[in-house]
């Protein structure tokens, strides 16, 4: 498969260039330099020659001191090579891993949970590990993996089946494996592990599946458990009083961990933020603030004991979780030197805290918010002082909105924290954000945080979810998108004032992380396949390169043998509508491979503005529909956006229970529409007809 993809790609580059890359691929394998048991000092250092941890350093700043590639010469950046991994491109899989590099070798994972070691100079794959998680694991959260950890001669990766494994760095052979939790109970692992002080720290996802969230530490050498912290406190623990004291709501309370933690070795603290409560949208079954959901949490790094927390949303009913990584920085605020932390959430606000105490540094006010007794809504919510990254109310009423009687307006102007129950409402920000999981970057020389975000309108409606069932979605309602255009937002924020420095909008949503360099550059991907370089000073686009798939992850930069490189995985993704791919692209100033052709409207599945034509030719089928087979395809490819029952999922897809005709469903599945990709290149006409039959069977069940 890898060679097939590579040959297809090379066919358009010219025979001489293809031959030079083929020769490089066949060169003798270089020796992999074994990484030491990195010290705290090594993990704290800004990444120069090597990028050894997910966030660049354990401060998660994603800042590089390199400047060989800079604003003056970045226009000359070209690809050096492109290598295909041969997996990770199936429906439902996303390419979200940030690549690590150590002394000439890259280490990367993909949505299939395969891990690769790749030679920096040639792109040759040196070894491959196949994770082979159960096909049912990870659904409907989506099949993604955000990277690996490295230390003491081992490569660590968390899998969709909730296993944490350690691989021999030289060979890729399995050294140890720990079943962190049973995937059959709804647990999964998406985030990259953290290697620190002889431990591997791993958070678990599953907040949509009715689990009790947790983060665990293991001995890096042996895989023996070190400590566990439950993000939903049990009886007798701090925070348990914020859950119903009768019943077991807390045991299904959610609060997954979607990102790699940050660490302050001097304070001995580890920091992370948490996800939504369970059920996501129906608060009546869990009255109270619901700690530690949607919170920034600090633990003792060595014992996992609680130190402090700050809750960003009390009793969340909008899926406003906090998947963006915490970033640590040292600066001066109001004339005082401080050890600070910042995290940007789906609300679109930056929460700037003293990382020693968890107290706000610039002020966060508790304000009264509209109430809905049927949701047991919180009386107040935290409002950070400063600028929001995205709009937090709807300025123009979208078509199809439920209007207030006798008016042309919607409830509360669709502002943030507008409550709801059985009548559907529209709100900004959306369940996508604000800021989602794609990491922010921070320049310590200017104290500027760079944030990727989305401006979208979400619809909400609550329903009683009943009792939670193992490994089933525990949502309590449905959410989707309004009939209105989305846009991406990329912004620069001064963290000493919480004020915007600059902000720009994109035609498509922003669903890619960023890195910032001393060369005055920001590298950030786009869903249409481009990797771009922006000026960190004002956001001006200085360079762009079209790859062969959506760049919905974060680039990495490093220096090897005196030369600076930039590398990125072009893998696409479910919620970003990025074309799937298996490519690793390496760039340098002496690269020879030019950009693929630029063109097409980004984020629109290859169609021009407005999506596909209204009249779509239906695919020609060759046999009767098989709804049972269609259900298998639906669970693999459709659940993340449309939900297990068709009412809407985490990706904000449209409800499929509105009585669409057979031809309408089949045509949309084939050609795509709005943010939905065209599946005709992935599935046959008969398979799409099977899915259509399954969706229509769900519609019939919903009417009974």
Backbone angles phi, psi at 504, to 5 degrees: -135, 155
Distance CA 325, CA 308 (A): 17
Q: Say if residue 659's pLDDT is above 80.
A: no
- pTM (two decimals): 0.89
| Range list of β-strands (E), 2-124 | 63-64, 78-84, 93-95, 100-102, 105-109, 114-119
Tokens of 673: 């529409």
Q: Say if residue 660's pLDDT is above 80.
A: no
49-58, 87-96, 660-669, range with the lowest pLDDT: 660-669
Confidence at residue 506, expressed as pLDDT on a 0 to 100 scale: 97
Give the residue range(s) of CATH 1.10.760.10 domains in the chain: 627-703
Select the more confidently predicted residue: 158 or 14: 158
Confidence at residue 26, expressed as pLDDT on a 0 to 100 scale: 42
Confidence at residue 682, expressed as pLDDT on a 0 to 100 scale: 61
Tokens of 556: 């990495």
CA distances from 91 to 86, 214, 632, 682 (A): 14, 28, 12, 8
Q: What is the DSSP letter of 430?
A: B
**pLDDT confidence bin for 263, thresholds 50/70/90:** very high
**pLDDT confidence bin for 282, thresholds 50/70/90:** very high
Q: Say if residue 334's pLDDT is above 90.
A: no
* CATH superfamily for domain 627-703: Cytochrome c-like domain (1.10.760.10)
Confidence at residue 28, expressed as pLDDT on a 0 to 100 scale: 62
337-341, 498-502, 676-680, range with the lowest pLDDT: 676-680
Q: Which among 463, 490, 493 has a CA at the least distance from the CA of 476?
A: 463
Q: pLDDT, tens digit, for every residue of 565-578?
A: 999 999 998 888 88
Give the residue range(s) of CATH 2.140.10.10 domains in the chain: 2-25+41-333+345-357+375-588
Q: Say if residue 607's pLDDT is above 50.
A: no
Q: pLDDT exceeding 70 applies to what percent of the chain?
A: 88
Please give the mean pLDDT across all residues of the chain: 90
Q: pLDDT, tens digit, for every residue of 176-197?
A: 999 999 999 999 999 999 999 9
Q: Say if residue 491's pLDDT is above 50.
A: yes
Cβ contacts of 168 within 8 Å, gap of 6 or more? 153, 154, 155, 174, 175
Q: Say if residue 21's pLDDT is above 50.
A: no
Q: Say if residue 19's pLDDT is above 50.
A: no
**122-125 contacts at long range (C-beta below 8 A, 24 or more positions apart):** 122/24, 122/25, 122/27, 122/81, 123/21, 123/24, 123/25, 123/80, 123/81, 123/82, 123/83, 123/584, 123/586, 124/24, 124/25, 124/27, 124/29, 124/83, 125/2, 125/83, 125/85
Tokens of 267: 């304070």
Tokens of 47: 């990444």
Mean local confidence (pLDDT), 302-310:
98
123-127, 282-286, 446-450, 674-678, range with the lowest pLDDT: 674-678
Distance CA 205, CA 174 (A): 23
88-97, 120-129, 282-291, range with the lowest pLDDT: 88-97
85-99, 479-493, 538-552, 601-615, range with the lowest pLDDT: 601-615
CA distances from 83 to 8, 12, 29, 595, 663 (A): 12, 15, 15, 15, 40
Q: Which CATH architecture group holds 2-25+41-333+345-357+375-588?
A: 8 Propeller (2.140)
Confidence at residue 608, expressed as pLDDT on a 0 to 100 scale: 30
- Neighbour tally for 314: CB within 10 Å: 22
**pLDDT confidence bin for 18, thresholds 50/70/90:** very low
Distance CA 126, CA 374 (A): 58
Distance CA 657, CA 643 (A): 11
Q: Say if residue 539's pLDDT is above 70.
A: yes
Distance CA 298, CA 358 (A): 8
Confidence at residue 616, expressed as pLDDT on a 0 to 100 scale: 53
DSSP codes, 343-356: EE-TTS-EEEEETT
3-state helix, strand, coil in the chain (%, to 5): 15, 30, 55
Q: What is the DSSP letter of 104?
A: T
162-171, 209-218, 591-600, range with the lowest pLDDT: 591-600
Confidence at residue 3, expressed as pLDDT on a 0 to 100 scale: 41
* SS3 call for 174: strand
Q: pLDDT, tens digit, for every residue of 674-685?
A: 556 667 756 788
Q: Say if residue 667's pLDDT is above 60.
A: yes
156-165, 209-218, 607-616, range with the lowest pLDDT: 607-616
């Amino acid at each position: 498969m890898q060679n097939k993809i590579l040959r297809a790609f090379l066919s358009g580059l010219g025979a001489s260039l293809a031959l030079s890359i083929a020769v490089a691929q066949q060169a003798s394998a270089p020796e992999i330099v074994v990484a030491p048991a990195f010290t705290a000092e090594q993990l704290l250092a800004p990444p120069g020659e090597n990028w050894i941890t997910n966030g660049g350093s354990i401060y998660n700043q994603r800042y590089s001191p390199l400047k060989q590639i800079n604003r003056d010469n970045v226009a000359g950046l070209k690809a050096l090579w492109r290598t295909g991994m041969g997996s990770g491109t199936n429906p439902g899989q996303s390419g979200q891993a940030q690549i690590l590099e150590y002394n000439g070798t890259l280490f990367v994972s993909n949505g299939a949970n395969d891990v690769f070691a790749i030679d920096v100079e040639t792109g040759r794959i040196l070894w491959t590990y196949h994770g082979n998680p159960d096909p049912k694991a990870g659904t409907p959260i989506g099949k993604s993996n955000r990277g690996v950890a490295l230390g003491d001669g081992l490569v660590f990766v968390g899998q969709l089946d909730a296993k944490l494994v350690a691989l021999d760095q030289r060979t890729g052979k399995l050294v140890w494996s720990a079943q962190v939790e049973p995937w059959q109970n709804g647990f999964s692992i998406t985030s990259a592990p953290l290697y620190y002080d002889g431990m591997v720290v791993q958070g678990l996802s599953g907040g949509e599946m009715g689990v009790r969230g947790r983060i665990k530490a293991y001995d890096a050498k042996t895989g023996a458990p070190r400590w566990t912290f439950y993000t939903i406190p049990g009886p007798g623990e701090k925070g348990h009083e914020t859950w119903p004291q009768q019943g077991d709501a807390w045991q299904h309370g959610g609060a997954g961990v979607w990102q790699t933690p940050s660490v302050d070795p001097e304070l001995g603290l580890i920091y992370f933020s948490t996800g939504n409560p369970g059920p996501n949208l129906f608060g009546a079954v869990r009255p109270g603030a619901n700690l530690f959901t949607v919170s920034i949490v600090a633990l003792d790094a060595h014992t996992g004991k609680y130190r402090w927390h700050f809750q960003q949303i009390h009793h969340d009913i909008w899926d406003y979780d906090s998947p963006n990584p915490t970033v640590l920085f040292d600066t001066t605020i109001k004339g005082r030197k401080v050890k600070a932390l910042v995290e940007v959430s789906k609300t679109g606000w930056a929460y700037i805290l003293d990382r020693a105490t968890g107290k706000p540094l610039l002020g966060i006010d508790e304000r009264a918010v509209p109430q809905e007794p049927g949701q047991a809504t919180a009386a107040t919510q935290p409002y950070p002082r400063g600028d929001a990254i995205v709009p937090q109310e709807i300025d123009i009423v979208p078509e199809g909105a439920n209007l207030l009687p006798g008016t042309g307006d919607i409830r509360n102007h669709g502002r943030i924290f507008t409550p709801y129950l059985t009548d559907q409402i529209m709100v900004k920000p959306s369940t996508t954000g604000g800021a989602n999981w794609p990491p922010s970057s921070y320049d310590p020389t200017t104290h500027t945080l760079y944030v990727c975000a989305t401006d979208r309108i979400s619809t909400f409606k609550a329903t009683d979810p009943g009792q939670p069932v193992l490994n089933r979605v525990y949502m309590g309602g449905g959410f989707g998108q309004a009939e209105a255009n989305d846009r991406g937002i990329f912004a620069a924020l001064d963290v000493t004032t919480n004020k915007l420095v600059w902000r720009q909008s994109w035609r498509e949503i922003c669903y890619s992380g960023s890195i910032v360099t001393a060369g005055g550059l920001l590298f950030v991907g786009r869903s249409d396949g481009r990797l771009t370089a922006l000026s960190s000073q004002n956001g001006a686009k200085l360079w762009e390169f079209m790859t062969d798939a959506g760049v919905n992850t974060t680039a990495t930069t490093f220096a090897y043998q005196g030369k600076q490189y930039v590398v990125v995985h072009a893998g696409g993704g479910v919620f970003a509508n990025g074309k799937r791919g298996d490519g690793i692209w390496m760039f340098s100033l002496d690269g020879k491979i030019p950009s693929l052709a630029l063109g097409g409207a980004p984020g629109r599945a290859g169609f021009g503005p407005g999506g596909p034509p209204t009249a779509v030719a239906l695919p020609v089928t060759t046999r009767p529909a098989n709804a049972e087979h269609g259900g298998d395809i639906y669970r693999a490819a459709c659940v993340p956006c449309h939900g297990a029952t068709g009412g809407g999922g985490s990706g904000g897809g449209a409800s499929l229970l509105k009585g669409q005709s057979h031809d309408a469903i089949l045509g949309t599945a084939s050609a795509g529409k709005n943010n939905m990709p065209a599946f005709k290149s992935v599935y046959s006409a008969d398979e799409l007809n099977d899915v259509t039959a399954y969706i229509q069977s769900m519609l019939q069940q919903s009417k009974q």
